[in-house]
Amino acid sequence: MGSLYVLAVLALIVISLSFIIFLAKRYRRCPSDQILVIYGKVRRGMSSRCLHGGGAFVWPLFQDYSYLSLTPMTISIPLQNALSFQNIRISVPSTFTVGISVDPAIMTNAAERLLELKATAIEDMAKEIIFGQLRLTVASLTIEQINQDRESFLEAIRKNVEPELNKIGLYLINVNITDITDESDYIESIGKKAAAEAVNKAKVDVAVQQKNGAIGEAEANREKDIRVAENEATAEKGKKKARAARRIYVEGQEAEAVAGENLARANIADSNAELDVKKAAALQLGEVAKRRAEVEIQKAQYLAEQERLNAEEVVKKEIDKRKIEISAEAEAERIRREAKGEADGVLFKYEAEAKGVRQVLESKAEGYKSLVASCNGDAKSAATLLMIEKLEEIVARQVEAIKNIKIDKITVWDSAGGDGKSSSTANFVSNLIKSVPPLQDVASMAGVQLPDYLGKIVEDKKEAAPAKAADEKSE
């Protein structure tokens, strides 16, 4: 009993260890730089189960697993000759960094569309999406928006590209625009214009500061001269008071006091004149600085306007070039369509004519066939019937030929010849009637013998008389 118990315990231990080992082998851990994709029989309504981090059991026979790498992919997009909103072709070489997203919904898309694909195939798929969306983004923006506001441009790219990448399980990590160029040098013209505007603004600022300095200096000098003149005037006023007081006390010094007053007035006049001169000089300096500043401003405006006109001319020429190309393509298409229409019309006309002729011939053939059949297969009888049918028309044509001849208006020159039995006029009319072929002759020329009830040809009496005499003599 003891040995059986030991064996049972050992068997239980072995089974437990085997089960633990089995579970350990079926437990799959997910590294931080990968996504674990479990597929097969998973939750209802799901084609796969995606895990980022942690682990899960993969049951044999019912499930299997694979990994998706989260390593970013750098894709170079050498976009060339993309058409902008202004119909100017530009080149936008750029570098996009993309990777598989860990967002649950986007991970599921990646598991459904990218699982087991090689990195090169994934990059090619992403490149095609980015190319199309980048062209769409460039076509919706102007050159100024693309070149000057790079942040808005990158945001527009992200807005257009990322939703399309999400559909296959990728997301946009970074966009780097290396350079933007155009065939018509429009961007370079914009740069030159901005540089010229900056230089011109700096020159204007320098001129303004120089003007302010000159005006300030002139005002300071004027203030100084005014203060000096006021002080001198005050001092002179004190002197005058002192001299007046002395003049009260000393009459003898009155003349000297008057001379001092005159001298003071002369000094004041000199000071005022000097002050006016300095004011004029200061005003002159200010006006000169002002005029120089205005000249520099005019020069700057002229250069800026010239750059603007050059840029507008470049754009205008590019637009005119595009219009000419579109017009030429439209004219060529119109000529091709007109030529095709005329050819189709001629072909339809000839086909209709050929069809009409064929139908007429087929109808005639069917009628002739029925006519011959009604004559019991006698083609000669059928031809006789057709000839009889045309007799009325033939007689009408014969009557039409002579009905308008006015006999009384005919002049016949009689040469008095002949047998004396008939006149030339009578012969003319007789011969005229004979010139119209009789029906029997017409029918015989057609190889048809008319029936006897339509008459027979009577031989000429002149020709029949000798024959009759010969017959009587023989008798």
Report pLDDT digits (tens) over 272-330: 778 877 877 878 887 888 888 788 888 888 888 888 888 888 888 888 888 888 888 88
pTM: 0.38
Q: CA 475: distance to chain centroid?
A: 113
Residue 437: predicted pLDDT: 57
Residue 127: predicted pLDDT: 92
Residue 404: predicted pLDDT: 65
Name the band, by pLDDT with cuts 50, 70 and 90, for residue 152: confident
pLDDT of 11 higher than 70: yes
Residue 287: predicted pLDDT: 81
Residue 98: predicted pLDDT: 93
- Average pLDDT of the chain to the nearest whole number: 75
Name the band, by pLDDT with cuts 50, 70 and 90, for residue 97: very high
pLDDT of 110 higher than 50: yes
CA distance 454 to 381: 15
* CB burial readout 415-431, b (16+ within 10 A) else e: eeeeeeeeeeeeeeeee
CA distance 279 to 221: 8
Name the band, by pLDDT with cuts 50, 70 and 90, for residue 154: confident
Nearest partner of 67 among 29, 22, 23, judged by Cα: 29
Report the range out of 98-102, 177-181, 229-233, 424-428 with the highest average pLDDT: 98-102
Contact 70, 97 (CB under 8 A): no
Task: List the single range of 217-231, 331-345, 408-422 with lowest mean pLDDT.
Answer: 408-422
Bigger pLDDT: 129 or 429? 129
Q: Name the CA dihedral angle for 99, 101, 107, 112, rounded to a multiple of 10 degrees.
A: -20
Residue 166: predicted pLDDT: 92
DSSP letter (8 states) at residue 446? T
Name the band, by pLDDT with cuts 50, 70 and 90, for residue 462: very low
**Secondary element (H or E) of residue 173:** strand 170-177
Amino acid identity, residue 79? L
Bigger pLDDT: 451 or 104? 104
What mean pLDDT do residues 100-111 have? Answer: 88
Bigger pLDDT: 413 or 460? 413
Q: Name the CA dihedral angle for 224, 230, 233, 235, rounded to a multiple of 10 degrees.
A: -90
Residue 448: predicted pLDDT: 59
pLDDT of 425 higher than 60: no
CA distance 414 to 424: 6
Nearest 5 degrees, angle CA 253-CA 257-CA 258?
120
pLDDT of 186 higher than 70: no
Report pLDDT digits (tens) over 365-421: 787 778 777 777 777 776 776 766 666 676 676 666 666 666 555 565 555 555 555
**Secondary element (H or E) of residue 255:** helix 254-374
